[in-house]
A and B are shown apart, each in its own frame.
Chain A
Amino acid sequence: MKVLKALALGGLLLTAAGPLLMYSGAIDIDTNKTLMLIGMILWFLGATPWLGSNRLQPTDKEVEI
Chain B
Amino acid sequence: MSEQEHAATDEFERTPVPSSALKGPGKFWGMYAGEHTAGTEFMIGPLFLAAGASIQDLILGLLLGNVLATLTWRFLVTPIAMKKRLTLYYQLERIAGGGAVKLYNFVNGVLFCFLAGAMVTVSASAVGVPFGVTFSVPESWYQLGSPAFTGIVVVVGAVISAIACQGYETVARVANIAAPWMIIVFAACGLVSYAQMNSGTPFTWQQAIDFVKAENIAAGKDNPDFGFWKIVIFGWLCNGAMHFGMADLSVFRFARDRSSGWAPAIGMFLGHYVAWICAALLLAAQIKLHQDTSANPGMLAWRAIGGTGIICVIIAGWTTANPTIYRAGLAFQGMFPNSKRATMTLLAGVIATIAGAFPTLSAKLLDFVGTYGTILGSMGAVIFVDFWLMKKFHLRSEYAHATGSSFHPAVLIAWLLPVTAGLYLIYAQGVFAAYLVIPCWIVCGLLFLGLSLVTQKKA
Residues of A participating in the B interface, judged by any CB pair closer than 8 Å: 11-12, 15-16, 18-20, 22-23, 29-30, 32-34, 36-37, 39-40, 43-44, 47-48, 51-52, 54-65
Chain B residues with CB below 8 A from A62, complex form: 35, 247-248, 250-251, 323
CB <8 Å contact, A36 and B306: yes
Residue of B with least CB distance to A61: B168
Binds A, one of B121-129, B174-182, B216-224, B410-418: B174-182
Nearest CB of chain B from residue A55's CB, rounded to whole Å: 5
- A11 / chain B contacts, CB cutoff of 8 Å: 181
Contact in complex: A56, B239 (CB < 8 Å): no
Is the Cβ of B168 less than 8 Å from the Cβ of A32? no
CB distance from A60 to the nearest CB of B (A): 4
CA–CA, A7 and B32, complex, Å:
25
Known: A15-B184, A62-B251. A33 touches B23 (CB 8 A): no
A29: chain B residues at CB < 8 Å are 192, 196
Kindly state the separation between the CA atoms of A43 and B326 in the bound complex, as whole angstroms.
Answer: 27
Distance between B444 CB and nearest chain A CB, rounded to angstroms? 21
Interface of A is mostly: helix
A54 CB, nearest partner CB in chain B, Å: 7
Scoring B residues 1 to 42 as 1 if CB is less than 8 Å from chain A, else 0, what string do you get?
A: 000000011111000000000010001100110011010100
Q: Which residues of A contact B323 (CB under 8 A)?
A: 60-63
Question: Which of A18, A34, A36, A52 lies in contact with B173, CB distance below 8 A?
Answer: A52
Residue of A nearest to B307 (CB): A37
> Which residue in A12, A20, A54, A55 is a CB contact (below 8 Å) of B181?
A12
Apart from A30-B306, A33-B305, A64-B267, what are 17 other A-B pairs with CB-CB below 8 Å?
A: A12-B184, A15-B308, A19-B191, A29-B192, A32-B192, A36-B305, A37-B307, A40-B181, A44-B181, A52-B177, A56-B169, A56-B172, A59-B254, A63-B112, A64-B35, A64-B38, A65-B239
- In the bound complex, what is the Cα–Cα distance between A39 and B173 (angstroms)? 20
What CA separation (Å) do A22 and B196 show in the bound complex? 9
Number of chain B residues close to chain A: CB under 8 A: 57
User: Is B242 a contact of A37 with CB atoms below 8 Å?
Assistant: no
Least CB distance, B169 to chain A, in whole angstroms = 6
Contact A23 B305 (CB under 8 A): no
Specify which chain A residues have a CB less than 8 angstroms from the CB of B254 in the assembled complex. Answer: 57-59
Return chain B residues, CB-CB under 8 Å to A61: 168, 172, 323, 326-327
Task: Answer whether A57 and B27 are a contact pair too, CB < 8 Å, given A23-B195, A37-B306, A62-B251.
Answer: yes
> Which residues of chain B have C-beta atoms less than 8 A from A52's C-beta?
173, 176-177
Query: Which residue of A has the minimal Cβ distance to B167?
Result: A61
B228 sits at the interface (CB 8 A) = no
B153-173 interface bits toward A, Cβ cutoff 8 Å, 1 = contact, 0 = none: 000000000000000110011
